[in-house]
């Protein structure tokens, strides 16, 4: 018996880093997916095959002793086959670039939790999300859960670290052009760098938090009336705050300048220091913006919001 599930990646549209200090962020799922196929097999081995490598281990190993980015899959499979006489084969296929802040690991956890658990029982989205967050914690102990949440439910949402998420009901029809710096980043170390900035500049940081909070409230209103030009201005404004807290660099700044030439606005998405930026466009400037990035030799692709979230087959 086989079970298959897919989950989308994500973009943080507004509020990364400030969300760590209690400010609301706005995220959306994107139409790039990870698909996981799980199958019960004879024996008691858990075997995972993916385009970032393979992992094959007996069940019942200590999670802390496994050193692999595929660890969340092992965790999920091992938990399900406790006291069951079976092994599991898992296949992972991804069209989300890995490790650049587009939610590949959260999408893996969500699609993995769904595909693996459904070999054994029917599960609700809520149960799958809970399992996915547990699995993600095996690699990012301090995850807020925002990424797994948007990968499960899809669409666009506001996220508050303490209060959780609220789905935004409007369905904006914009295109995001994502450009990849191809610089890998460590979210943990950039979050630590921002903490240092905050400790050295308490007043300035608190002012930035107030500005970000106001900006997010303005964006929530703009989303209701679908004002893409004004949204673009807010994106560019948000980028200024990210520059101030030190998560940008020359390459990212150059990419953002290229993006801003033809789009409505451009900014870093995710932790920064590397990873991706995005530019907000619609059909009037999508091709021009793609061309600008390409003629400056930057890897780019366009995405739309994914409204489906987790899908099971
Ligand atoms: O891991 P990334 O690149 O998607 O970014 C994490 C977002 C931060 O706000 C920087 C950290 C967090 O836990 O929210």
The three-state (H, E, C) secondary structure of the chain, written as one string = CEEEEEEEEEEEEECCCHHHHCCCEEEEEEEEEEEEEEEEECCCEEEEEECCEEEEEECCCCHHHCCCCCHHHHHHHHHHHCCCCCEEEEEEEECCCCCCCCCHHHHHHHHHHHHHHCCCCCCCHHHHHHHHHHHHCCCCCCCCCHHHHHHHHCCEEEEECCCEEEEECCCCCCEEEEEECCCCCCHHHHHHHHHHHHHHCHHHHHHHHHHHHHHHHHHHHHHHHCCHHHHHHHHHHHHHHHHHCCCCCHHHHHHHHHHHHHCCEEEEECCCCCCEEEEEECCCCHHHHHHHHHHCCCEEEEECECCCCCEEC
Fold of 2-169: Ribosomal Protein S5; domain 2 (3.30.230)
Mean pLDDT score, 84-104: 92
d(CA 82, ligand 1 centre) in Å: 33
179 CB under 6 A from ligand 1?
no
Question: 106-156: per-residue pLDDT in tens?
Answer: 999 999 999 999 999 999 999 999 999 999 999 888 787 889 999 999 999
149 CB under 6 A from ligand 1?
no
| Torsion sign (Cα): 108, 165, 155, 248 | negative
Question: 205-252: per-residue pLDDT in tens?
Answer: 999 999 999 999 999 999 999 899 999 999 999 999 999 999 999 999
Show me where the domains of the chain are located. 2-169, 175-304
272 CB under 6 A from ligand 1?
no
Mean pLDDT score, 191-218: 97
270 CB under 6 A from ligand 1?
yes
Measured from the Cα of 275, ligand 1's closest atom is 3
The distance from CA 133 to its chain's CA centroid, rounded to whole angstroms, is 13
At 269 the pLDDT is 96
Spatial distance between the Cα atoms of 228 and 242, rounded to a whole number of angstroms: 21
Question: 73-87: per-residue pLDDT in tens?
Answer: 999 999 999 888 899
Q: Residue 71 — pLDDT band, cuts 50, 70, 90? A: very high
At 143 the pLDDT is 81
- Please state the CATH superfamily assignment of the domain spanning residues 175-304 in this structure: GHMP kinase, C-terminal domain (3.30.70.890)
**Ligand 1 pocket mutation pick from 13, 14, 16 by most atoms within 8 angstroms of CB:** 16
At 100 the pLDDT is 84
66 CB under 6 A from ligand 1?
no
Q: Which of 8-17, 32-41, 95-104, 284-293 has the lowest mean pLDDT?
A: 95-104
Cβ neighbours for 300, distance < 8 A, ≥ 6 positions apart: 177, 178, 179, 180, 290, 293, 294
At 8 the pLDDT is 98
Say whether pLDDT at 197 is over 80.
yes
Look up 147 and say whether it is catalytic. yes
Q: Residue 38 — pLDDT band, cuts 50, 70, 90? A: very high
At 52 the pLDDT is 85
At 184 the pLDDT is 85
Say whether pLDDT at 10 is over 80.
yes
d(CA 36, ligand 1 centre) in Å: 24
Mean pLDDT score, 297-308: 97
Mean pLDDT score, 87-92: 97
């Amino acid at each position: 018996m086989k079970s298959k599930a897919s989950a989308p990646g994500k973009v943080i549209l507004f509020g990364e880093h400030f969300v760590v200090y209690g400010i609301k962020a706005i995220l959306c799922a994107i139409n790039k997916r990870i698909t996981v196929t799980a199958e019960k097999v004879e024996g008691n081995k858990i075997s995972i095959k993916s385009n970032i490598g393979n992992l094959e281990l007996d069940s019942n190993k200590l999670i802390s002793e496994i050193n692999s980015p595929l660890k969340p899959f092992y965790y999920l499979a091992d938990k399900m086959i406790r006291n069951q006489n079976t092994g599991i084969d898992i296949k992972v296929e991804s069209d989300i670039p890995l490790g650049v802040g587009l939610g590949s690991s959260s999408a893996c956890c969500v699609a993995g939790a769904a595909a693996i658990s459904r070999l054994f029982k029917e599960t609700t989205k809520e149960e799958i999300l809970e399992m996915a967050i547990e699995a993600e914690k095996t690699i990012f102990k301090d995850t807020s859960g925002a990424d797994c949440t948007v990968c499960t439910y899809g669409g666009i949402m506001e996220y508050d670290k303490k209060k959780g998420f609220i789905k935004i009901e409007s369905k904006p029809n914009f295109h995001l052009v994502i450009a990849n710096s191809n610089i890998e980043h460590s979210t943990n170390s950039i979050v630590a760098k921002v903490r240092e900035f905050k400790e050295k500049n308490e007043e300035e940081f608190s002012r930035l938090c107030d500005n970000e909070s106001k900006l997010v409230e303005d964006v929530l209103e703009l989303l209701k009336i679908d004002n893409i030009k004004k949204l673009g201005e807010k994106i560019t404004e948000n980028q200024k705050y990210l520059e101030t807290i030190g998560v940008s660099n020359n390459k990212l700044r150059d990419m953002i300048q290229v993006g801003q030439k033809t789009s409505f606005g451009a900014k870093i998405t995710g932790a920064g220091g590397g990873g991706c930026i995005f530019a907000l466009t619609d059909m009037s400037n999508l091709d021009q913006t793609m061309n600008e990035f390409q003629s400056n030799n930057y890897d780019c692709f366009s995405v739309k919001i994914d409204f489906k979230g987790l899908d099971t087959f």
